[in-house]
A and B are shown apart, each in its own frame.
Chain A
Amino acid sequence: MTGPAQRGTGEPVSEPNVPTAGSKGWPLWEVFVRARRGLSHQHVGSLHAPDAAMALRNARDVYTRRGEGVSIWVVPAAAITASSPDEKDPFFDPALDKAYRHPTFYDVPEGVSHL
């Protein structure tokens, strides 16, 4: 993908080595929150902060004012590599032509249980 600096995401961006240039202010961080133990971190949004420590503090104030999380990750937006929507179809195509990966592909004789 040929794009200028990636900023202002809500999802991963490509070109990890492009700095968050263009922004006259602080770099952009993507914020991920683990809602409670047993769940994985989920993307909730982004924010600007001068460094990782401030990004964490700001993320706590912006995204967890009501106990929405027990753990936060902040990731520089520019460090995320993403698949491009342009190549979406060919990129994910191989997943669709192997029906035998799914249990419903197989015939199960009458009377067989726990299979």
Chain B
Amino acid sequence: MYGNVDRIEESKEAETGALREEFDRLVADEQRIEPRDWMPEGYRKTLIRQIAQHAHSEIIGMQPEGNWITRAPSLRRKAILIAKVQDEAGHGLYLYSAAETLGVDREDLLDQLHSGRQKYSSIFNYPTLTWADMGAIGWLVDGAAIMNQVPLCRCSYGPYGRAMVRICKEESFHQRQGFEILHTISHGSAAQHDMAQDAVNRFWWPALMMFGPPDADSPHSAQSTAWGIKRFSNDELRQRFVDMCVDQARVLGLQLPDPDLRWNAEREHYDFGAIDWSELNRVIKGDGPCNADRMARRVEAHEEGAWVREAANAYAAKHSRAAEVAA
């Protein structure tokens, strides 16, 4: 963990001293902050919270899709879905690895997830009711995630940016496979088309909420921007996402469920309807359709995996003893 925690405690006065100046200079020059560099305590805490929440989201995000692996409509779709869910696990691991460079322990992060002290993206608290939801998640949820994540590749904190580069490369497969699923179903029978439309109806608004509260209600954004963690505002990214989806929806032959959606020639953007932020707040507070299920499943998986971890430890201990005896 590069000793950052210690260094910070030893040098509180450094907040305004030479170390602080060096940190500010690096950020202003678009250089990267690396793990053993001095950094303000707030920067470190913000990153830990953000990266951990991001990692938790990847891990919890395996559940809504894992739900359909056994019921995928063909072997091709099943193989793809398994690979995608495996990627989500990998993304979680890249991110936990990045978070640990800030002096936290992976086990502690998991404890905080399991006890509800750290959050994950509220989008994963919605159920996946039909196969078409696999398409809507890939197209809309992964699409929104990519929109959020591409700027993070240039995040001022080196390990986070590097993890995001890997993740973004892999996410584009996720988005395309979702689009392909929806395109196929949408152009199938009338019942299949309706199923695709229903999935988009249910995921559209929660996907828009993934960009976070409106800029006016996002108190930490200014500081994150000043630190080079955040590159674009929530509303900017949300607008880009809407603009991108309108044309894609046309190709899919599906409607976006917003009667107020229309081109604004003056702004050169699509106007869209008001988002129900009370819904987001409700889901974040724990009152979404699947919050309890997701957490119960996660804790259960962790507890039921305990014997595997113990067995691996016992095996490693036995073989290191054998190696000592042989030497």
**Which of A3, A25, A26 is close to B6, meaning CB atoms less than 8 Å apart?**
A3
CB of B25 within 8 A of chain A? no
- Asked if A2 is at the interface of the complex by the 8 Å CB criterion, the answer is yes
Digitize A14-32: 1 where CB-to-B-CB distance is under 8 Å, 0 elsewhere.
Answer: 1000000011111010000
Cβ distance A90 to chain B, nearest Cβ, rounded Å: 14
Is A3's CB under 8 angstroms from B1's CB?
A: yes
Are B94's CB and A3's CB within 8 A?
no
Given A65-B86, A65-B90, the answer on whether A54 and B106 have CB atoms closer than 8 Å is: no
- A45-60 residues with Cβ-Cβ distance < 8 A to B are 45-51, 54
Q: Which of B88-113 contact A (CB under 8 A)?
A: 90, 93-94, 97-107
Is B37 an interface residue when CB atoms closer than 8 A count as contact? yes
Please tell me the size bucket of the interface on A: 35 or more
Residue of B whose beta carbon sits closest to that of A27: B316
The digit string for B35-79, where 1 denotes a CB below 8 A from any CB of A, is 111100000000000000000000000000000000000000000
Range class of the B interface residue count: 35 or more
- A residues sitting closer than 8 Å to B (CB atoms) are 1-11, 13-14, 22-26, 28, 45-51, 54, 61-62, 65-66, 82, 84-86
Q: List 17 A-B contacts (CB under 8 A).
A: A5-B1, A8-B99, A8-B103, A9-B1, A9-B35, A11-B36, A13-B1, A13-B2, A14-B3, A23-B107, A25-B106, A45-B163, A50-B313, A54-B312, A62-B90, A66-B170, A85-B38
User: Which residues of chain B have a CB within 8 Å of any CB of chain A?
Assistant: 1-3, 5-7, 34-38, 83, 86-87, 90, 93-94, 97-107, 158-159, 162-163, 170, 309, 312-313, 315-316, 319-320
